[in-house]
Chain A
């Protein structure tokens, strides 16, 4: 199964933006993806995703008034798939250097045009075995913010055998990290309970 899903089009130490190869098919919110800067594998969590016109000067217009269904719009106007693109933001949460996973930011951001891969369940389990990436994730305040945190934990829990155990452990970690922010904690906890 192909894991290559897109390409980096903007890169910074904290995060990057990638363009999805498939229109309308960004990786799910909160899922773990991997890219590299050549030597170092960089891990990130999918945040905001968006589909818009490739040319920021030309905004898409409605075309379906006389079409029987949505699919036929794309059939009738095949150029649309070229004029639209799907991008997604990735919040960098760690990296791996010669096989060792580190839950902190890599020394350099990835190169633009690096490939972005989805992570296999095995890899997800390995990376989320430690919850040390949570502080990095919680420190991102713009965009969907805590929604990403809860989505990420939900996604990751599927890779663990003891799903509930993993979530309880994560919840405990969160309650330590969010000391004094009871409302934020409660909001996340309500989103990750099974």
Chain B
């Protein structure tokens, strides 16, 4: 296929365009237009540098307008051959993304963002495997292979070290492969030891094993990296039933719930604004630690009525609050006094650079998820902040970075609550305190705009709601062009990734995950193999 081994096939020449709009490329007559696909990579050979770009539109042109009215007789192969590429021609629209300089100096610096355009009639060719490798790097200490570009075998690698420095997002309609990709990213972070992970695992997908729509269950973190991952659960019974051994059962005491946590649940608990205000009044009355217990202790007697009167809380608001909070009471992991300090346990594991997956078992409703994630994260974040500030003051090494994974992110980060929740703060303050988020969501438009624009790297699967697409692409250059690419993604396993950890946006087919070979690539060894290795080592010893 290649003319000179390392170079891709010539496609055509640049005939116009601009830096902001992208380049117009007229295809050679020999280039079959139907093989040009949006999202593919091409290289434009400028006079001084090479430009690496992506196809984002394909169109047809005719030299003579009359030809569109009286089309030539293309049933004759000779006439069809003549007309192709001359009377009629194909055009592709290419957005140059990176420039690779020609001289030795710039070659060392690697690809740079594009600041100019190639000259007229520069040659355009398919990007070869080497070109792609030059841009996306090779799998190494910091680069984790996530997938391959469309129609290519080259590996696209994420710079995991850069990745964990900012908050990141995985988006896409349900059933497109978000969970799959997230699991892959988590494996990458564990494998490269770039950060400790705390995963709020709503559907028990990341800890022990995950479901796959195509076939058998796939191994998740704990199975692949047993010594590096701790499995926490809220629901020991569910874990037992699924035959999953857990390391710790999390309980949350009433004393750990603060008024801010209830504010976040306003919508799910159906609370009114006055009811919320009442929460703060109770907290003042009973104390931050004891208020919930105190609230549940209230009976319907006269004393309560007096108290309400004194606090100036209307009966209706009280009733509303009572109905809402009673729902919390039904959550079995909420207890009056927790037997152990879950936050401390999680932190201990994170300190040992281990990764913690918190399974929610059967409690997959949003109330439990939002409540637990918020309580734990807030306290873990406080600890991290304290330590980072201390480290800065004493000029010591900062703590190991922490990545917190949350699903249904719009529940935590919607414009109404993003200002107050701990997740909003983490997303905005970013890496200062070495804590970042990995948010997973199917309705990115529900997430606060400011938070969206702060996300470093975004991976998005197919989205078809315009609002969602717009929100994912906020703050990205070449938005209109990426929009076309995004709306043309296949329904499964194809994702557009762009942002901080990659030199340029890329559409990938996600890496194989689930086969024994893929586990091996992640560094997983079957028990039998481990045993054999151990035996060999013993033999070597004696």
| A186 to B67 Cα, complex, angstroms | 11
Contacts of B83 in A (CB 8 A): 175
- Decide if B81 is an interface residue (CB 8 Å cutoff): yes
Complex CA–CA separation, A157 to B63 (angstroms): 26
List 15 extra interface pairs beyond A171-B86, A182-B66, A189-B82, CB under 8 A. A167-B78, A168-B81, A171-B79, A171-B81, A172-B82, A174-B82, A175-B86, A175-B87, A179-B63, A180-B64, A182-B64, A182-B70, A186-B72, A193-B78, A193-B79
CB contact list, A167-194 vs B, under 8 A: 167-168, 171-172, 174-176, 179-180, 182, 185-186, 189-190, 193-194
Q: Which residue of A lies closest to B29 (CB)?
A: A172
Indicate if the CB atoms of B64 and A189 lie closer than 8 Å: no
**Interface majority SS (helix, strand, loop, mixed), chain B:** loop
Residue B207 interfacial (CB < 8 Å): no
Q: Which of B66, B79, B82, B87 has the most CB of A within 10 A?
A: B82
Of all A-B residue pairs in the complex, the 10 with the closest CB atoms, nearest first, are A171-B82, A193-B78, A175-B86, A172-B86, A168-B81, A175-B87, A182-B66, A189-B79, A172-B82, A168-B82
Number of interface residues of B (CB under 8 A): 17
A127 to B78, CA, bound (A): 23
A175 touches B63 (CB 8 A): yes
- Contact present for A171 and B78 (CB under 8 Å): yes
Cβ-based interface call for B76 (8 A): yes
A-B contact pairs, 27 of them (CB 8 A): A164-B78, A167-B78, A168-B82, A171-B82, A171-B86, A172-B29, A172-B82, A172-B85, A174-B82, A175-B63, A175-B82, A175-B86, A176-B86, A179-B63, A180-B66, A182-B64, A182-B66, A182-B70, A182-B72, A185-B87, A186-B72, A186-B73, A189-B79, A190-B79, A193-B76, A193-B79, A194-B78
Task: Flag if B81 contacts A182 (CB, 8 Å).
Answer: no
Residues on B with C-beta less than 8 A from A174 are 82
Q: How far is the CA of A180 from the CA of B87 in the complex (A)?
A: 10
Chain A residues contacting B76 (CB-CB under 8 Å) are 193
Please measure, in the bound complex, the distance between the C-alpha atom of A7 and the C-alpha atom of B73, giving whole angstroms.
43
Alpha-carbon gap, A185 to B64, bound state (A): 12
A116 to nearest B CB, angstroms?
A: 33
Q: Which residues of B contact A185 (CB under 8 A)?
A: 87
Q: What chain A residues lie within 8 Å of B64 (beta carbons)?
A: 179-180, 182
